[in-house]
Amino acid sequence: MGTARLLLLLAAAALCCASASPAAKGGSCSKFPALFNFGDSNSDTGGFWAAFPAQRGPFGMTYFGKPAGRASDGRLAIDFIAQAMGLPLLSPYLQSIGSDFRRGANFATLASTALLPNTSVFVAGISPFSLAIQLNQMKELRDRAISSDGNNGQLPPLDIFGHALYTIDIGQNDFTSNLGSLGVETVKQSLPSVVNQISWTIQDLYNIGARNFMVFNMAPIGCYPAFLTELPHSSNDLDEFGCMTTYNSGVVYYNELLNNSLAEVRKKLHDASIVYVDKHTVTLELFRHPDAHGLEYGTKACCGYGGGAYNFNQNVYCGNSKTVNGQTVTATACGDPQNYVSWDGIHATEAANKIIASAVISGSYSYPPSKLCSP
């Protein structure tokens, strides 16, 4: 499948309690006993690669020391968030071996869209597990926990669903998958339905008892090495930081739609907490001033082929080999992923994810302001 065209990413996580070791014992950091996540590659902890094995190195090299089903060299923001909450790293719902859902589950899969896809993973690389499917999986998990009546092995205890945190980080693939062919103005017309899908999902989850939500907005994909390489743009569309302004303003438009739609949902669901997480601002800042955050490279991928400004070649995606002009070439990882924002041209490095997560956990990028951890 066209891995280089798999388009999802981003996540947020945190280190809220890095100095408060009791958090590691499970509880003082966070008021939530469990975490259920919906999304794409930005927060997929192994779902896609459980369904379509197997992922290869150098993915996972930094933290796990082997491929761990994540589109990064290490942990995703959702991993840092789970750790800060005193929870285990989330098991993917699709993972049949070794999963434990007692403290939550992860329904996210790489290349998922909010809307039902019109194409297949084998044609365009889009995951079949779109948001509506992920919601059905959540309902099934809950139904199975209920029917097993507490005697449920690796399933969540029944009283956890109403107290858990539900995180949603999706929409990026809806935005990017047709950008090259349709252009940003046409894609923008489809964005209200993407946002509506997310809002309906929140209401559906509310109807089965969920009360605490965090919804992540979209990162500035106009700064991603992959899109800088693949998407048509003129050189005067680049801003002073080397990001594409037209695509990035499309992202800002999407984020406004999302923020407004969540405000509407909040009016309907009075006893729910629905938090809009501005991952966009944090990530944009990393691309613009990597050095201010202990990083060196913004718009250049760590793992890729071709070198140059972006080190990205869509025909030789991170970890893949290909014959080019009779020679076999491989897209390998840099030796210092801790200095990069972008891991593979699309997804963030563990280093960037850690910074994004810290920002999310701090609550400073949340509307309404809300700390994940108690003070």
Ligand X SMILES: *[C@@H]1O[C@H](CO)[C@@H](O)[C@H](O)[C@H]1NC(C)=O
**Which residues in this chain contact ligand X in the complex, by CB under 6 A?**
115, 117-118, 259, 263, 276, 278, 367
Q: Is residue 347 annotated as part of the catalytic site, yes or no?
A: yes
Q: How far is the CB of 283 from ligand X (least distance, A)?
A: 13
Q: Which is nearer to ligand X, 64 or 365 (CB)?
A: 365
Residue closer to ligand X by CB (options 117, 304) is 117
What is the closest distance, in whole angstroms, from the C-beta atom of residue 175 to ligand X in the complex?
11
What are the φ/ψ torsions at residue 192 (nearest 5 degrees)? -60, -35
In the complex, the smallest distance separating the C-beta of residue 264 from ligand X, rounded to whole angstroms, is: 9
- Which residue, 282 or 357, has its beta carbon nearer to ligand X? 282
Alpha carbons 34 and 102: distance in angstroms, whole number: 8
Catalytic entry in 79, 127, 169, 347: 347
Cα–Cα dist 312/317, whole Å: 7
Minimum Å gap between C-beta 125 and ligand X is: 14
**How many Å is the Cα radius of gyration of the chain?**
19
- Among 30, 40, 41, 358, the active-site one is 41
CB of 221 to ligand X, least distance (A): 17
Place of tokens 């899969």: 109
Kindly state the smallest distance separating residue 251's Cβ from ligand X, in Å. 12
Cα dihedral 182, 187, 189, 193 sign: positive
Cβ-count burial 76-109 (b if 16+ within 10 Å, e if not): bbbbbbbbbbbbebbbbbbbeeebbbbbbbbbbb
- The residue behind tokens 């139904």 is 143
Shortest distance (Å) from residue 54 CB to ligand X:
28
Structure-block tokens of residue 40: 């794409």
Backbone angles phi, psi at 27, to 5 degrees: 150, -40
Residue (of 32, 31, 30, 34) closest to 17 by Cα position: 30
Cis? peptide before 54, omega within 30° of 0: yes
What H or E segment, with its residue span, contains residue 188? helix 184-207
Looking at beta carbons only, is 79 or 278 nearer to ligand X? 278
**Quick check: 175 and 251 in contact, CB under 8 A?**
yes
The answer to whether 280 is a known catalytic residue is no
Identify which of residues 177 and 358 has a Cβ nearer to ligand X in the complex: 177
- The nearer residue to ligand X, 152 or 259, going by C-beta atoms, is 259
Neighbouring CB atoms inside 10 A of 272's CB total: 17
DSSP string over 264-291: HHHHH-TT-EEEEE-HHHHHHHHHH-GG
* The one-letter amino acid at 69: G
Catalytic residue (one of 79, 169, 278, 344): 344
Q: Which residues are catalytic?
A: 41, 344, 347
